[in-house]
Structure 1
Amino acid sequence: MKRPIIAALSLNLSASLLLSACGSNTEKQKAGSAPAAEIMQTLPAKYDPPIELTTGSYYFSGIKYPQGDDMNNNVWTRTLESEFGIKVKHVWAVHYNDYEKKMNLTLASGDLPDIFLVTPAQFKQLHESGLIEDLTGIYEKLAPDSVRKVLKEAGDEVMEAAMIDGKLMGIPFTGLAEESVPVLWVRTDWLRSLNLPEPKTMADLQTIIEAFTKQDPDGNGKDDTIGFGIDKDLSAANGFMNAYHAYRGIWVKDASGKLTFGSIQPEMKKALAALQTMYKTGLLDKEFGVKNATQMTQNVTMGKAGVYFGSMNSGIIPLGRSRDKDPNADWQAYPMPSIDGEAVMYQHDLNIYGGFWVVKKGVKHQEAIFTLLQKWLDTFYFNTSDDLFAKLNEAPDNNTLWMYAPIKMYRSEKNVSVYRNIKPLLEGGGGDKSKLTPEERKVYDSIQKYQNGDGRFWGENASFGLNGGGKVVDQIIKNNQFMPNQFITAPLQVMTDKMPQLVKLEAEAFTKIIQGAPIEEFEHFVADWKKTGGDEITKAVNDWYTKK
């Protein structure tokens, strides 16, 4: 559990911040003037005269600008001004890893940009300080269809998280949590060599894992393979635990409708017992307790593990790299079988990428946030023009153009949509290649090359082909097989104070149990968790939940 990143920002600064934030920008709403939502029925096609909006931004490693360009003069800023009459001024830009710290300093200074991205903790404090606009009215009247579509795909809880006291106080920076749920990948060349069935049941999967460990699936005559790799943080075990209806580290509803912590439920004990049995019989890496996720993945790329929980894109990386060592390595994605035949529900945290886009209190043209978002979505996700793609997304000599966009939101079903949209063409029964996005056309062409014998594109076929990872995730989405974290607000103070100790307690207990401690230790862990702050946190969480 991360600590609130602006805990040092005292709410006692509210009055001074409000005065500082609302006193200088020429585009701010004058006292007594009507809100934009009351005077506007449609988004302006173009502002004339142009308006200026300020923001703070981040960039990723590798970003590059053509000679003469910079964060305030580039193809995106020029396009936004020429097409919409919006001059975007970045008052600062830092590396993504430094963004939260920089925003903390900005909030403490009181010199806020017009539109900016904040974490859930910052979001809550800005609202309590009265420093951000209520966007309810302009969203209802002016939000473009593309924005509404992407927010709907992200899940109802995402918009709910942006509501405070019944008001929409920010626009979620939607994320990729849903299509990033764990996908079960199995080496099918090993299945064939050992004459094993595909994993349709948990018993099938257990048989496969045991055989991959004990029957020399790679045929090298050595006892050097493991069936299933997990890491010391157990992140790779979440998919397996979900198959037991156990949900580690998130808040779920119990039978009475109250929220309870997934890690302390009886289902978790059953999942840990299964992992313990696998560890005792040598089916798990004996050194998992000291290996991080990168080291665990090396077992896969080096051809030492045959069952892997990854994402729908894992066919490209890391599984594609296993073919560098063994060109015959063949992996396929499967739905995770459950322990009892009931549908597996895949856990995920709130489906946002870091936080919420907010508008500073008093900004006159607050509706411009939707113009900026619509341009981003229409360019990055819904564009079919190769020329526009090369201009604003990715040029042959610069694949970082998209980073220049001042405001973004990610499409939660972006990658699975690639699978959906090229599927008719791959099946040969229809589809129109010209209606694909440039990225979709590139994936389709790569799969065609693979089908014609070019093994370099095996990964694209494994992830996006007819029987790839996309097919599995598409079915999960259609069946709504998600178990989202029900705690969707900023961490409560009691969480900040006590959750780090509970996280450490859980990690130690789970690792010891998997490595052979009596399974009854689970009850001891639960008791310790409750008395070490868990009960206090649970009460606070449910107090929030009943009032939200």
Structure 2
Amino acid sequence: MPINKACKNGIQRGKDNDPRLFAGNVLWLPVLVVLILLVTGCMDTGGAKKEQPSGNPKAKTINIVISNLGMTFPAGMDENDNRYLNYIEQNTGLDIQVNTPPTEVYNEKLDVIMSSGNLPDMLHTYEPVWFDNYVKQGAFMPLDELIDKYGPHLKEKIPAEVWERVKYGGKIYAIPSLNEVTGVELMYARKDWLERLGLEPPETLDEYYEVIRAFAQDDPDGNGIQDTIGLIFTSDLGRSSPFFGAFGTQLNDTWFERDGQLVYGSTLPETKEALAFFAKLYRENLLDREFPLNLQNNLFEKIEDGQVGLFSATWYDTRGPIAANMKKDPNAEWIPLEYPIGPGGQKGVYGKDIIRGYNVIPAESKHAAEVIQLLDFIAENYKTLKLGFENEIWWWQDGKIVTDFALHDEHLYRGIYQSLVDVPDELLFKERLDSLGDFNLYDNLQRITPNIMPSAFYGVPTPAMGKYSKKLGTMEDVFTKIIMGLEPLDAFDEYVKQWKEQGGDEITKEVNEWYAKQK
């Protein structure tokens, strides 16, 4: 499977709400297998050429705009003619016309569509600010009555507190899709390198520094060449979250309570301390010199090729680049580590928002009922849509799920439909993970969960966020410049000043007004 150019930053500072975990990451085949199976499911249904559902020439047609998640289709199939979609159509009696804008410009294309005057019956967005902006413009239809009439499984499976997150003026304006995992990153290291250098698995930040230094300078692979990397990030500081956690902060739009008020993680003094630590690593050639240019595929290649012995992994990397490295080097052995503990005894990693995506129906749609029926069908049949057909892609053996990975891999595209309505099912989730083999996937998630540093703000985007968030986000580019020595450390103070003046203070005021109402 070719690597999707759009998937450029991997777990990019936590902005992995889909398509960040799918189309927002460059994922090679083994990782895609895990992600789509685990988070969006597996299914297979017969590959006949698309016909009107159940042979009914009067089937109602609905038009939907969704992300293709960077997926490719088997020969002879596409987003409008494949086994997955045919299964859904045959069981709903709908003729579903699918538009999948390119992932690299997906958000921009949604804006173009919204201003075109030729609106579909449904759009799926991953951006809460985008959703918020258009709701306030009256662009979407309230859905309460439609859900009551056509969405019993949506009502049953989506928690009440999540419905509250998509309400405006007491009315529901989106069908949410949920995240099954609450966090993504944890530390992994080459055990064989630690043993060769006589080092114990690190726990404190100082111990991490010594391991990073040794992995960069002390020839941990024993080839007599200084060709290894102490620590690796991707661009925009992807894969850095556990180190920010050691300083008691996070990026990723995370808000913390300080003295009874909410403050933005990226502007905290602790963030400046973390940048100083990274700048030290970079000066000493312990941090990958190419990190500002690293896409996810670059990180994978360096791990697979044996250049990297310690990094912040995603919970599914044990089935991706780590597994590939061990296959290439039979002597390689990887182990999970404790999160680095900072000088103040702090540790942790960013958390993911419970809402992964929003299905919205334009106010002018004539087929809103059919859209709700489609989404309700996905919620009702989530097990089949996640796992595929029993006794074809998977089956029970000795009380466990066994998967035919050849069939599973052939139909990775299936996730673009199932992911529209992901609903939680902890037992099924574990069974799926266990079916994938001995990659410690469930154990990885169990390590992450108690170490999450959740954002204290989880409301709908405030008005000021809609106006300023995009611009303020680009200002964080200075962080990379500070680490590389292109800007002094004190440039952080100027960043904070500008952040506040150019909308941050207004956002903070609104966030704290929301916070006061939660107490």
TM-score, normalisation: structure 1: 0.68
Residue 504 of structure 2: aligned partner: 534
The reply on whether 1:107 has 2:119 as its aligned counterpart is no
Other-structure match for 2:246: 243
| Counterparts of 1:365 and 1:293, CA distance in 2 | 38
Q: Which residue of 2 aligns with 1:195?
A: 198
Helix, strand or coil at the partner of 1:305: coil
Amino acid aligned to 1:164: Y
| Structure 2 contact 462–510 (Cα < 8 Å) conserved | no
Q: Percent of pairs identical after alignment?
A: 24
The answer to whether the 8 A contact 2:186-2:448 is kept is no
Is 2:429 aligned against 1:486?
no
Q: Tell whether the 8 Å contact from 1:228 to 1:307 is kept in structure 2 after alignment.
A: yes
Q: Which residues of 2 match residues 242-391 of structure 1 at below 5 A?
A: 242-289=245-292, 291-323=294-326, 325-339=328-342, 344-348=347-351, 350-358=353-361, 360=363, 363-364=368-369, 367-381=372-386, 385-387=390-392
How far residue 318 of structure 1 moved from its aligned partner, in angstroms, is 1.8
Q: How does 1:38-437 map to 2 (within 5 A)?
A: 52=60, 54-58=62-66, 59=68, 63-64=72-73, 74-76=82-84, 78-80=86-88, 82-84=90-92, 86-90=93-97, 92-97=99-104, 99-118=106-125, 119-136=127-144, 149=157, 151=158, 159-175=163-179, 178-179=182-183, 181-289=184-292, 291-323=294-326, 325-339=328-342, 344-348=347-351, 350-358=353-361, 360=363, 363-364=368-369, 367-381=372-386, 385-387=390-392, 395=407, 398-400=410-412, 402=414, 405=417, 408-410=420-422, 420-421=430-431
Quote how far apart the aligned CAs of 1:107 are.
3.0
Question: What is the letter of the counterpart of residue 55 of structure 1?
Answer: N
Does the aligned pair in 1 maintain the 2:140–2:173 contact within 8 Å? yes
* Structure 2 unaligned regions, length at least 5: 1-12, 16-53, 396-404
Contact 2:62–2:95 (Cα < 8 Å) also in 1: yes
* CA distance in structure 2 between the partners assigned to 1:321 and 1:388 by the alignment: 24
Residue 231 of structure 2 aligns with an amino acid whose one-letter code is F
Instruction: Tell me how far apart the structure 2 counterparts of residues 233 and 71 of structure 1 sit (CA, whole Å).
Output: 32
Task: Tell me, in whole angstroms, the C-alpha distance in 1 between the residues paired with 2:415 and 2:503.
Answer: 42
Alignment partners' CA distance in 2, 1:381 and 1:228: 35
Letter in 2 for 1:526: V
Match of 1:506 in 2: 476
**1:301-354 CA distances to partner (integer Å, 9 max, x unpaired)?**
332221111201112222233345533122122341321575634214534445
After TM superposition, give the deviation of residue 183 of structure 1 in Å: 1.4
> For residues 117 and 517 of structure 2, what CA distance do their matches in structure 1 show?
30
Helix, strand or coil for the counterpart of 1:200? coil
The root-mean-square deviation of aligned C-alpha atoms, in Å, is: 4.3
- Report what 1:40 is aligned to: none
Cα deviation for residue 240 of structure 1 reads 1.2
Task: Find the aligned partners of 1:103 and 1:165 in 2 and give their Cα distance.
Answer: 24
Partner of residue 40, structure 2: none
Which amino acid is 1:523 matched to? D
After superposition, where does 1:463-474 map in structure 2 within 5 Å? 464=439, 468-474=440-446
State how far apart, in whole Å, the 1-side matches of 2:58 and 2:72 are. Answer: 28
Paired residue secondary structure (2:225): coil
Counterpart Cα distance in 2 of 1:278 and 1:404: 40
TM-score (norm 2): 0.71
Q: Which amino acid aligns with 1:284?
A: L
- CA contact 2:434–2:442 (8 Å) conserved in 1: no
What residue identity is the alignment partner of 2:135?
A: H
Per-residue deviation at 1:140?
Answer: 6.9
Structure 1 partner of 2:39: none
Deviation at 1:54, TM superposition (A): 0.9
Q: Is the 8 A contact 1:53 1:114 kept in 2?
A: no
Is the contact between residue 190 and residue 309 of structure 2 (CA under 8 Å) also seen in structure 1?
yes
* Counterpart code for 2:63: T
Using a 3 Å threshold, how does the CA distance of structure 1 residues 129 and 538 change in structure 2: closer, same or farther? closer
CA contact (8 A) 1:334 1:472 kept: no
Structure 1 residues 470 and 205: alpha-carbon distance in aligned structure 2, compared to 1, 3 A threshold: farther
Question: How many Å apart are 1:52 and its aligned residue?
Answer: 2.7
Distance 1:79 1:389, change over 3 A: farther
Letter in 1 for 2:485: Q
Q: 1:236 to 1:515 in 2, by over 3 A?
A: farther
The residue matched to 1:530 in structure 2 has which SS? helix
Structure with larger RCO (C-alpha < 8 A, sep 6+): 2
Contact 1:177/1:412 (8 A) holds in 2: no
Greater Rg over alpha carbons, structure: 1
Could you say if the C-alpha distance between residues 343 and 139 of structure 1 is closer, same or farther in structure 2, counting changes exceeding 3 Å?
farther
SS in 2 for 1:321: helix
Count of residue pairs the alignment pairs up = 454
Which of 485, 488, 501 is residue 515 of structure 1 equivalent to?
485
Partners of 2:337 and 2:294 lie apart in 1 by 26
8 A contact 2:189–2:309 mirrored in 1: yes
Which amino acid is the alignment partner of residue 486 of structure 1?
F
Matched residue type, 1:409:
V
Q: Flag structure 1 segments of 5+ consecutive residues without an equivalent.
A: 3-45, 422-436, 445-460
Matching residue's letter, 2:444: V
